[in-house]
Amino acid sequence: MFELWFGIVAVMFTAYVVLDGYDLGAGALHLLVARTGDERRQVLAAVGPFWDANEVWLLAAGGALFVAFPRVLAAGLSGFYLAIFLVVWTLILRAVAIEFRSHLADGLWRRFWDTAFTVASTLLAILFGAAIGNVIRGLPLTTEGWFELTLFTSFRARAPVGILDWYTVLTGLFALVALGGHGAVFLAWRTGGVVHQRATRLARLVFVVLAVSWPAVTWATHAVNPELLPALPGRPLGWLGLLAAVAGLVTVFVALGRGQALAAFLGSCAWIAGMLVATASCLFPVLLRALPDPALSITAYNGGATAAGLRTALGWWAVGFPIAVAYFVVLFRLHRGKAVAARDGEGY
């Protein structure tokens, strides 16, 4: 049961990154792919039907973590207190920028909120990437299972550690590039005209950078967590995730070369999902790795709820998860086709 819930939590967080990742990436590229008012409304029209619903997956993943592994959520909320507030502030800023941008027909007003949308989306991608880097690198857990983190210490990825060091900054920037590419292929699929052309060109460039930097980030990951990669040979799901990631990356390049934007977007989804699945498989059963003593780590076995509680929660999850998936299927069907910018004053 603990193994199953580890997988469920991993699936929920993967769904969030894949779904909210494309509108975070689109936001980060907003000022690059769209330069006029009509073009920027077209970008907002592309993400408009989805961004709010996509963020619900973050809440759902947090709820699954609370139900299945309450010790992890309790330790994480207290230890990452500053980081969580940074995420909340940027989430609010991004939402306000989207909703307020077209309220006034004033150039300065709109440029301010366009910039806020881009800055908030960029910071969120970096913060989420740095969070994954912290989990992979390890945290200063005490014998009671708690930890405290300053923003940074010496920038070395060993105790005493902070939220930011060379490795977590690297994973944050890598996440920004990955989500930027994800957002670019999404815009190439969902938009037409000049925005489509710019997004396609950016997607080609960004995925070349990703393909080159992926081995470097993998090497850095092995340097800060030598136990991670050696676990891969014995993890079938890890191999499956790795194959999905490689196939997704190849699909992106082939599809972009053929002008097949939807196939490129699906390839990007596979690349991100495969990377996260492979990482989660190699981390199992560790949820919060302890530094400098891995024996203090919180795992799926010592951080989980009772078996009876997990069985009850599984019943509710089995009902709720298919409904959420069906909702997104309907949402994408209702808003299929190229996004068209609303007339000025009539929406985003």
Structural domain includes residue 67: yes
Structural domain includes residue 288: no
What's the number of domains the chain is made of? Answer: 1
Residue 126: how many CB atoms within 10 A of its CB?
A: 23
Structural domain includes residue 268: no
Structural domain includes residue 273: no
Q: Is 37 helix (H, G, I), strand (E, B) or coil?
A: helix
* Residue tagged 């995730």 (tokens): 241
Query: In DSSP terms, which residues pair with 152 in a beta bridge?
Result: 164
- Please give the residue range of the domain that contains residue 323: 2-227+297-334
Q: What is the mean pLDDT of each run of 10 residues along the chain (348 residues)?
A: 91 95 95 91 91 91 91 88 91 93 86 95 96 93 86 81 92 97 96 94 96 95 93 92 96 95 97 96 93 89 85 90 91 86 65
pLDDT of 341: 74
Structural domain includes residue 245: no
Structural domain includes residue 257: no
Interval 88-100: pLDDT, tens: 999 999 999 999 9
User: How wide is the angle at C-alpha 97 spanned by C-alphas 333 and 152, nearest 5°?
Assistant: 110
pLDDT of 149: 85
pLDDT of 336: 85
Structural domain includes residue 32: yes
pLDDT of 347: 61
pLDDT of 345: 60
Interval 45-85: pLDDT, tens: 999 889 889 999 999 999 999 899 999 988 988 888 888 99
Which CB contacts under 8 angstroms, 24+ apart, belong to 192-200?
192/338, 193/39, 193/42, 194/39, 195/33, 195/34, 195/39, 195/42, 195/43, 196/261, 198/32, 198/33, 198/34, 199/29, 199/33, 200/256, 200/261
Structural domain includes residue 18: yes
